[in-house]
Structure 1
Amino acid sequence: MDASETPDITSAVYGLPPPDLAAVPEGARQLSPMLPGAAALEDLPPGALSEIVLLAPPGTAERRAVLALALRALRAGGRITALAPKDRGGARLGRELAGFGCTVEETAKRHHRTCRAARPAVPAGLDAAIAEGAPRFVPELGLWSQPGVFSWNRIDPGTVLLLDHLPPLSGRGADLGCGLGVIARAVLASPAVTALALVDIDRRAVAAARRNVEDPRASFAWADARRPDAVPGRLDFVVTNPPFHHEGSEDQGLGQAFIRRAAEVLRPGGIFWLTANAHLPYEAVLAGAFRQVTPRAAANGYKLYEARR
């Protein structure tokens, strides 16, 4: 495939950069894996873009891969604008772009660093950076994963707590914020489970889960679990280790929305299992959404609840 085969994508945006810090070209195509329905940056052919504006992710391997993919997708002389909070990768952006051979103009405003550059004719080191951020099999986990996905190279303690106490489930259920599919694999170990919907807002997580959960009872959705059309209804159970960060900042409303969504999709008497950081204020929302709420465990700064609708 060459650039002439994708004339509809000539300018792009990655993520949701603050509009007062970077102007997004009119008609720019969204490329973030965290925004369902977006195109995939890695699928763009070399030279397809004339301009890209990106809110760079905080993780080093992920950020360098995104920058390298953006430069690969730009035509020679095409413009890249990359920005990030200075304490979440922004302070490194200029050096990283310079390392790829760019001449960088850097500004600072509202605790962000914004870097602007033209793609050099022959960028340096793109392939290595792209490979560093690509999907891979992680032997320590026995799972497929990718930098940038939640807890991409370890099983987080909240999930461990849930797995240690989760009983065999039955019927139809959902895993909201499925990540790599670790919880789903445990759920599907029960032969009484007839169907499990895995839902995640991160396209990369869903792709990894598809490889990690090879079970005909599983279905997969790249979607925001809070949306009414993202999760089937009248379920027998829901399991979740919900997110509580948005664009690098804590957002307690995310987990609270997952709790309410679980209550909405469960049948009367349906069961909800929730694992979360101990400091998160979920108890009032649980009590308001479910008729019975039971603390099941607490360890290593995490808590586990079983609730019944």
Structure 2
Amino acid sequence: MLSLPSQLLLRNTDIFENGKWAIVNPSDAAIFDELRGPSMDITGLHQFHDIYFQSENTSKFLQVFAASFGIDDLKDKQQLDGAVIFLPKAKQHLEMLIANMTDLVKVGGKLLIVGENKAGIKSVGKLLARLGSTVNKIDGAKHCGLISVEIETPNKSAFEIKQFGVIRKYLVNDQELKVFSLPGVFGHKQFDPGTQLLLAQFEPRCVKLVNMKGQVLDFACGTGIIGTYFAKLNAKVKVTMSDVSALAIYCSKQTLELNAVEGKVIASDGMKQVEGYFDHVVSNPPFHTGIRNDYSITQQFIAQAHKQTRPRGTLDIVANKFLPYSEVMSGLYFRSKTLVSTNKYNIYEAAK
């Protein structure tokens, strides 16, 4: 079944009947199949590889996967008459998307935001008012809203994603790392305490880190701090980082470059696009899809990581204490144990 914001948008398909449109970060690939009007000219703009991959394989419309979008990504390289942004979780992420779309939508064109009430759709009118005086609520139902503005004020300068990025220095086991982050990426402007606890198990001279060699996977890499730490401190490993988010991919590449180390960074829906076998898998895996808890992401990751771990290979993850991952790991791996337990987190280690 389509998400509630997608259902609301489909009540208003007439908006797509005229001109060139983009749908940004839709929550459902199937929405493109529902937009069948012969005159519809729509491009899907995606920052999440799972929906992009599904859309690319099923839709007749052009689909683009990137951290940011430029005129060259659009059909015929012409500005849009309108764009619809699916409301993201983070307000700063929305502000970044609005700035990006203001570059792509012509003056006089429409910018729409669709989302759930509990995700904050009622407050987006204030953001849109910066672009034009005509802000309207086009529709509201299913605990969702669809808000529109006619763009009167273009960007003063071309959109540049790096302007929204932040570089912070963190001490990781007394080793300084520079980390690049963007809104909407896990670890933005902070060194997550769960990640700190996980990396504390790999101090520079400890046996656990010294004995590591071969291929290392940092799954759900976010800003890239985990993979970059291993690449910087252990020359015997080759690091691969993966994430579903194009923004995370961008951040991880920047973080590697800032620390003058190398690693492979790939976009992947879970482990689906991750190829090869690994000697070590290290992760602070997600348990959210949008604003909802989704334990299946990590459960599927653990199962697939087991398949792609070499004999005697290891899996180390950090998880909130309430998450039910210990049983999943012990049911798959030869050996599984809890290394550290605090009042909030558990660090699990498993060996194949």
Q: Same fold (TM over 0.5)?
A: yes
Cα pair distance change 1:24/1:97, threshold 3 Å:
farther
Of 185, 188, 192, 1:149 maps to: 185
1:25-47 deviation line (CA, Å, top 9, x unaligned): 85522222123551454423796
Give the letter aligned to residue 272 of structure 1. L
1:119 to 2:129 alignment: no
1:219 to 2:219 alignment: no
Q: CA deviation at 1:127?
A: 5.8
TM-score w.r.t. structure 1 length? 0.85
1: CA distance between counterparts of 2:140 and 2:163?
27
Cα pair distance change 1:217/1:194, threshold 3 Å:
farther
- In structure 2, the partner of 1:297 is 340
1:38 to 2:65 alignment: yes
TM-score w.r.t. structure 2 length? 0.75
Is the CA contact (8 Å cut-off) linking 2:168 and 2:189 kept in structure 1?
yes
- In structure 1, the partner of 2:89 is 58
Range moving further from structure 2, 107-116 or 293-302: 107-116
Of 234, 246, 254, 1:191 maps to: 234
Is the CA contact (8 Å cut-off) linking 1:17 and 1:54 kept in structure 2?
no
SS at match of 1:142: strand
Of 293, 296, 313, 1:253 maps to: 296
- In structure 2, the partner of 1:6 is none
1: CA distance between counterparts of 2:156 and 2:325?
43
Is the CA contact (8 Å cut-off) linking 2:103 and 2:158 kept in structure 1?
no
Of 316, 330, 333, 1:273 maps to: 316
1:138-165 deviation line (CA, Å, top 9, x unaligned): 3567321111111211111110110111
1:210-240 deviation line (CA, Å, top 9, x unaligned): 121246651111222331xx22323111111
- In structure 1, the partner of 2:325 is 282
Is the CA contact (8 Å cut-off) linking 1:15 and 1:31 kept in structure 2?
yes
Cα pair distance change 1:62/1:24, threshold 3 Å:
farther
Of 3, 21, 39, 1:11 maps to: 21
Give the letter aligned to residue 15 of structure 1. N
- In structure 1, the partner of 2:173 is none
Aligned length in residues: 295
Q: What is the percentage of aligned positions where both structures have the same residue?
A: 25
SS at match of 2:89: coil
Is the CA contact (8 Å cut-off) linking 2:20 and 2:41 kept in structure 1?
no
2: CA distance between counterparts of 1:24 and 1:193?
51
2: CA distance between counterparts of 1:132 and 1:200?
19
Of 12, 15, 29, 2:43 maps to: 29
1:202 to 2:202 alignment: no
Alignment gaps of 5+ in structure 1: 1-8
Is the CA contact (8 Å cut-off) linking 2:232 and 2:261 kept in structure 1?
no
Q: CA deviation at 1:286?
A: 0.9
Of 135, 138, 146, 2:168 maps to: 138
Range moving further from structure 2, 187-196 or 290-299: 187-196
Q: CA deviation at 1:24?
A: 5.7
Q: CA RMSD in A?
A: 2.8
- In structure 2, the partner of 1:3 is none
Q: CA deviation at 1:89?
A: 2.5
